[in-house]
A and B are shown apart, each in its own frame.
Chain A
């Protein structure tokens, strides 16, 4: 039962990804990214990680995409670049395929034992996050703070520096 679902979601994910890297229009790319990221949330649901699916949609789809679109709008230049690809894009295809080959080979070499996925449930995640992973949790929040301050400083207008 989960197989056809998996296939559909997988196609959506990969399709969105391909859209991001192939389209010439930046806004289209952002929308493709949104599609891909929401599909990834679907994958999380397939492995019964509901909380993470929720977080994924909230953060990525809610915040990051918005920020990206803001940035796109703010950095529009007068003339659209005719070509949105690099001179080295053929080589990039080869590199991408090579890396995929390596990774797939390493995943399929030694197959893990067959098992059924299980979801942890919110309670378990919360408990783990605030006991065993409490310190990294605090550090990550510090990281967010630093990123916030840094972003303000870097992107601030010339007169806003003080």
Chain B
């Protein structure tokens, strides 16, 4: 498969994730969409490393780090969501707007 196919797939998945971030109401759902975006980026990195960087495979190493950081981030994000839920008994991001005008 040519590299472009993987790249376009990655772009599509990224945009799906972007839509989810922009259009969903629950914080947990937004978090899942962010995971989609991160995975899309990983696909791109790994496919590019496999096709073009066949001596050092830098992209794949970086993909490992991305997965790790994504995991850490999910943990923290969920902690925050739990906290907000405890204070407001909702995870609706519409209602977390204290910083508005």
Judge whether A68 and B83 touch: CB under 8 Å: no
A interface: dominant SS:
helix
Instruction: Please indicate the chain B residues that have their CB under 8 angstroms from the CB of A48 in the complex.
Output: 50
With A3-B1, A14-B13, A85-B25 already in contact, the answer to whether A43 and B43 are too (CB < 8 A) is: yes
Contact sample, A vs B, 27 pairs, CB 8 Å cutoff: A17-B17, A18-B16, A21-B24, A40-B39, A47-B47, A49-B60, A52-B64, A59-B68, A70-B78, A75-B81, A86-B24, A88-B22, A92-B18, A92-B23, A96-B16, A96-B22, A99-B18, A103-B11, A103-B14, A104-B11, A117-B1, A140-B68, A148-B72, A151-B76, A154-B80, A155-B78, A155-B83
Enumerate chain A interface residues (CB-CB to B < 8 A).
Answer: 2-3, 6, 10, 13-14, 17-18, 20-21, 26, 29-30, 33, 36-37, 40, 43-44, 46-49, 52, 55-56, 59-60, 63-64, 67-68, 70-72, 74-75, 77, 81, 83-86, 88-89, 91-93, 95-97, 99-100, 103-104, 107-108, 111-112, 114-120, 124-125, 128-129, 132-133, 136, 140, 143-144, 146-148, 150-152, 154-155
